[in-house]
Amino acid sequence: MRNHFNIPDEVAHGVSRSAQDFLNALAGIPKATAVAPAILHEAGSRYWQRQWAMWTRLPGASTDENAQPASRDPRFLAQEWSSNGWYSMLRQSYLANAGLLEDMVGATGYSESDKHRLRFFMRQFIDAASPTNYLTTNPEVIQAAIESNGESLRTGMTNLFGDLSRGTITITDESAFEVGRNVAASPGAVVFENDLFQLIQYAPLTTHVAKRPLLIVPPCINKFYILDLQPENSFVRFAVEQGQTVFMISWRNPDAEMAQTTWDQYLESGVMKAIDTALAISGADKVNTVGWCVGGTILSSALAVIRAREEDKVASLTLLTTMLDFTDPGDLGVFIDEQTVLQRDLAIGHSGIYPGRELGFVFQMLRANDLIWPYVINNYLKGKNPAAFDLLYWNADSTNLPGPMYTWYLRNMYLENNLRVPGKLTMCGTPVDLGRVDMPAYVLATQEDHIVPWKSAWCSTRLLGGDVRFVLGASGHIAGVINPATKNRRCYWVDDNSGNSGNGGNGGADGTGSDDAEGWLANAHKASGTWWNDWNAWLQPHSGDRVKARANPGNRTFRPIEPAPGRYVKVRAD
C-alpha cells in the first residue's frame, strides 16, 4: 500500500518514526534547561553577541570574520554568501540560530546518552533548516533558474516526482553501472549455494597460492561488492594478487521465503557452512577469515560457537570496522531503545522482513549533509543529474533483513550488549564466550567512523582471546576500509609493541599496559599509506605453504554453479 505521495510505506514509516523521535526528544527541553541556568544564560549571551555583530557589520558584510566559510561549512561556498549583504545576513543568522539550539542541548539536565540522542535529532532539524536547501534562499539555485529560463526548475520537478515514485533519493547515475560488468567483476565462480547465501571462489592471478584459503564475510545489510567495486579499488583483487585463494559469501537478499530466518541460521547455515566448504575445496587444515561491520559480528559469533565445540578450523580472524562491544554504538544508538525494539519484536520478531530502504534511510540520516541535502539541492532545485560513482551505486543497492534475525540482533547487541558477557548468549545451542576465540586477530578501526566508533572497535581487543594487532586507519567507515594499495593514500596508526596475549578480556589490551583506547593511541605511531599492505604482511605467516594454483574452481563435490558474481547479488530489494 502507498500513501498519496506514492512513497513506499516503509520509507514513510522511517521518516515519521524519525520525526516522532525528534519531537519526543525536544519535549523535555524546557524542563531540563532549568537545571543549568548559567549555561543557558551563556548560550543566550553568545547568541545576542552574534546577532549584534551581524547587524552592525551588515553594510560591509564581506569583511565579517565569518565571510570566508569555505573551510568550515561547504554548504556556503558560493561567493554571494559573503559578498552580498542579504545572503551574508541570512547565512550568519542561520549559523547563530543553529549555535543557539546546539547550546540549548548542552544546557539540558539530561544524561550524556540522552544529550547525544537529543543532539542528533536537533542536528537533523538544523540541517534541514539551512537556507541552502530552499529555492528562494539559495543564490546558486536562483541564478541557475534565471540563466536557464526556468528549465532547471522544470527538470528538478521531473527529478523530484521520479524519486517520489521510486521512494528514494537518486544519489548516483545508476545506469552507468551493472553488477557483474563493471562492478563485482572479478572473475570466479559460485561453487556452493543454499537458501541463505552463495559462495564465490575467485580465479587465481598468481601461479602459486597460499595453501590456506581466505574466506570473507561481508555485512548482510549491504551487498558484498563494496569489496570488489572496480579493479583499481577492489580488496578482493588485491588479496588474489597477493596469492590468496579468496572465497566470498554473497548473502541472499531476503524475501518472504526468508521471513522466519534467525541469527543462528546465519551462523550455522551461513558462515560455518562456508568455512567447511572452503576447507573441503582447498584441502587445507584451516581457513583465514575476514569480516566487515555486522559481517564481523556474525563471523565472531560463529567462531565462538566453533571454539565452544572444540573445533579448530580457523587460522586467523580479521575484523574490519566491527563492533563486539556495543557500549558506545555511536549515532546509530539514538534509534535504539526498549520501546523501539519491542515494537520491532511484535511486528516482525517471529516472521517478517525489515525493508532495506528503511534501513538505508537511517544510514542517510547519519550523514544528511552528505547523503540527503546535496542531492535535494542539485537534483530538485538545480535540475542536475547526479554523477556516476561506484561507491554510491553500491550504497543505493539496498538489502532487506529477515525480521527474526534483525530483532534478535537489535536486542542482544545494541540494546542489551550481551555478546561481550561470557556465557550470556546461547547460539546454535551453545553458550558462547568471545574469550575462546583465541586465533590471532587483526582488528581495524577507522578514525572518523560514524557507524562503528573507533574506540568501540578497539574494545574487541579486550574480548578476543588470542593475540590481537589493532590498527587505526584514517577516514571513515567506507573510505577508511576501501583504501587501495595501488594509490597508497592516507595513513594509519599502529603500536608494534602491543598485542593482547590471550587474556580473553581479562586485563590490559596490549603489551604496553594500556587499558583504554586513548592509552593505545598515545603509544601508537603513524604510518603513511594504506593499511592493506600492513594487513597482508600480518596475514602471510598464517597462510601456510605455497602450492600450485588450481586452474578450475571447486572440486568434484562442489562443482561450479554459475560465473561470479552469481544470481543472489543481482536481486534488488523491493
Element (DSSP H or E) covering residue 528? strand 525-528
Written in H, E and C, the secondary structure of 387-438 is CCCHHHHHHHCCCCEEHHHHHHHHHHHHHCCCCCCCCCCEECCEECCHHHCC
Pairwise CA distance, residues 368 & 125, whole Å: 10
Identify the active-site residue in 220, 293, 428, 459.
Answer: 293
Pairwise CA distance, residues 537 & 203, whole Å: 22
Is 127 in contact with 74 (CB distance < 8 Å)? no
Is 90 in contact with 139 (CB distance < 8 Å)? no
293 is catalytic: yes
Pairwise CA distance, residues 307 & 437, whole Å: 6
Pairwise CA distance, residues 346 & 286, whole Å: 41
Pairwise CA distance, residues 450 & 528, whole Å: 23
Return the residue matching grid coordinates 586507519: 473
Strands 491-494 and 214-217: unpaired
* Beta carbons within 8 Å of 69's beta carbon, 6+ residues apart: 76, 77, 81, 82, 91
Residue 249 bridge partners (DSSP): 199
Pairwise CA distance, residues 218 & 240, whole Å: 17
Enumerate the active-site residues: 293
